Amino acid sequence: MHIFRKWQWVVLSYLTLHVAVAYSGEVSLRGITASTANSVDILVQQARQYEHGESVPLDREKAADLYCQAARLGSAEGQYALGWMYANGRGVERNDGTAASLFGMAAVQGHDYAQKMLKLMPLPADSQKRLPGCLKKNSSIPSGAMSGQYRVDQTISALVEKLAPQYEIDPGLVLAVISVESGFNTQAVSSKNAQGLMQLIPETAERFQVKNAFDAEDNIRGGMAYLRWLLAFFKGDVALVAAAYNAGEGAVEKYRGVPPYPETVKYVDKILSRYNKTTHPFQPGVVSRTSFIFTSAAAAQ
């Protein structure tokens, strides 16, 4: 009962939201298709139905799984709803630390109710460790499929396929980078503070106008813009592009090729084994100059 007394106003607001959506006719599983709604929204809408038994059998474990998939793809509503389930033990074992960590993720994206919840419960210092397994880096993705030697998240793959033509980049190269960088985890954060699907450090995110590195589309757009720049700078040499993505273009120019860093050498090998192409078309106009590696090579001939 203490939860009800403490969070009564939030409960009422949350239920009001669900009732409004349910009666709007927007959550019928039969009426939703990928062509009419964002796939992340579909996951959240389906989760709501299973959570409340609306037009489908009540299945809160399935609801939690669907919310978790949406949360992994950067949905603030999915993160908040999953946090609510952990706060109340609905379909999952109650865990206030996990709930607060999920509320924290949603709050960063401006979710109003999540921000209010954080005023009622403390955010754990080790919040990254408190997240559910499906949100942790390199966790398996049940909805994924195998492509070559690695697992592909179909929702992310569809997003990449949609955006890639705008940057004139082969989706296969982008998916290879995402798989190596984050394992398709939109919330991944490295020890160097590289963030999201394509692991953009804050400087790179700012350079390519990424506002929210944990938003799947925003992150992918930034990563593609960077790849497009690198492809032009290194004239489509995939190995050099991969090396620069990992170690920076300055390191590649310094060593006039793939830097002899064990991490970078291993990284390049992974990208090449997953992409299987050594060159990629490029757009010369996106850079003011190309790498002097090619100027030096031409002069030596």
> Active site residue: 51, 181, 217, 253, which one?
181
The CA dihedral of 140, 142, 145, 150, to the nearest 10 degrees, is 10
Phi/psi at 59 (5° precision): -150, 90
CA 204 – CA 100 distance, rounded (Å)? 29
- pLDDT tens-digit readout, 133-149: 777 544 433 334 445 55
The Cα–Cα gap between 28 and 26 comes to: 6
> 145-300 maps to which CATH number?
1.10.530.10
- What is the fold, at CATH topology level, of the domain defined by 2-135? 1.25.40
**C-alpha triplet 69, 218, 275: angle, nearest 5°:** 80
Q: Contact, 71 vs 48, CB < 8 A? A: no
pLDDT at 21: 33
Report how far residue 171's alpha carbon sits from residue 18's, in angstroms, rounded to the nearest whole number. 37
Cα distance between residue 160 and residue 156, in whole Å: 6
Largest CA distance in the chain: 81
List the chain domain ranges. 2-135, 145-300
Q: In whole numbers, what is the pLDDT of the chain averaged over residues? A: 80
* E strand segments, the chain: 145-147, 150-152
Phi, psi of 274 (to 5 degrees): -95, -25
Examine the pLDDT at 47 and tell me if it is beyond 80: yes
Task: Note the pLDDT of residue 70.
Answer: 82
pTM over 0.95: no
Question: Is the pLDDT score of 1 beyond 70?
Answer: no
181 is catalytic: yes
Which has more pLDDT, 4 or 81?
81
Please give the full DSSP string across 59-119, using - where no structure is assigned.
-HHHHHHHHHHHHHTT-HHHHHHHHHHHHHTSSS---HHHHHHHHHHHHHTT-HHHHHHHT
What is the mean pLDDT of the segment spanning 33-40?
Answer: 42
| pLDDT surpasses 80 at 230 | yes
pLDDT the model gives residue 104: 85
165 confidence band (pLDDT: 50, 70, 90): very high
